[in-house]
Structure 1
Amino acid sequence: MAARRRRWRLKKQTRRQLQVWGVVAALVAVVWVVGNWSRVWPVLGAVLAVAVLGGAGWVLLRAHRRAVGQDRAWRAQEEARARELSMAEVDALSWQEFETYIAQLCRRDGCTKVVVSGKSGDLGADVIGYLADGRKLVVQCKKYAPHRSVSSQDMQKFVGTARLEHGADVALFVTTCRAFTRDALGLAVRQGIVALHRDLLGAWVKGAHLETLIPLNGSGGGTRRRSSA
């Protein structure tokens, strides 16, 4: 107990000594600065100027980044709104008209010999044609409500016929709904099926070329809203 008290007194005494020496050092510094003010003030002025300029630059940089971020967010919102406006017309189509419309988009982007099946028993080939480079394109069209998701069962059927039955070089599964389930998209990626959800279809409708959309394969806004199978 006595040893603990001695240690406590020693610590207290040490703190007091440090405080005293701190005050002394501060006073010495003040006296030195006053005595050498003609040499000190340019340095202090330069330090202050650098601090002010640095602070102003930091504020401007933050403002610029905030403005760029807001501009990007606004552009993304406007692009999404434009896609949805164009998709409103697509939503009004019947499933037969939707298949015909997809064929028109294929022709617009340079596809040749484009044929619409338009009948049951087509084994997943709603639209068939050839890309500009000669590859055979087989398209499965699903006219679903926007809130739905393409299931893995839907994808399995197309996987089983796109190449084995129709000899597709490029197999495209396009839908008006916002997403593919996780299992459906995983199957599409593994089997080389191009998955175009609502957001990518909206970009296609707005003028994006089909061959620029093929490498995206399910990416974009739709994947963030994907549900599980």
Structure 2
Amino acid sequence: MSHPVTRDIERAAVATWPTTTAVLRDGWLLRHCDLLRRRRSNSALPIGPLDDPESAIETVERFYAERSSPATVQVSPLDEHSVLDELLAARGYRAGAPTAVMRTSRDALLQACPAQDFEVLLDESPAPRWLDAVAAVGGTPEPSLDRVPAPAAFATAVSRGTPVGVGMFAVADGWCGVYGMRTDDRWRRRGVAAALMRAGVGWSSAEQVFLQVESDNAVARSRYATLGFISAHAYHYRVR
């Protein structure tokens, strides 16, 4: 990854998300997780130039075949790996989950998120009250989030004792990653996300902040832009 900010964000994203196996091999970070089915935990990330892309792809295919899993590549950053993306497509890998990565600074975010009339509860692990809150706002709690490396904060925004929004914040290498943001549909556009961001990023003390959002979710991207986030890079997955 030639751009230093892109490299730093991807390093922090790897460090703040759980996986059970991570192997550096032939220009890849190869990841596999029996406990979490998310693609980020079960995909190959190119971490440097691939001198022989065809051979490198075969390395990926062998790794996942040994684990009875579909070969999956996180083509990130997308603008630096057009050749790899074309080769994967030619081999029958389908593209999916286009994602925009956005970033901001802690100071800019706190300035853009004034105090709101919501109490925000922070747990250092996915405690029962947080898992219950995820379900209460219409989300689906993911298994094995207790394996997110510390330090992490699992945040619940509350109004009069009722959960109205949730999020997760995890820190590595001076970056705070924002994950799993969700607001109860009945409470949208009332400052819930801003309250969660202010509490979670304020807790972290990290100087930089990043998040990932579906590229076609224009509403969410616009909302994050109002909180000071700008585009960092994009990626998608290729699955055999």
Indicate whether the TM-score tops 0.5. Answer: no
The alignment's TM-score, normalised by the length of structure 1, stands at 0.32
Determine which structure has more spread, i.e. the larger CA radius of gyration. 1
Instruction: Give 1 or 2: higher strand fraction.
Output: 2
- The structure showing larger relative contact order (alpha-carbon pairs under 8 Å, at least 6 residues apart) is 2
Q: TM-score, normalised by structure 2?
A: 0.30
- Which structure has greater helix proportion? 1
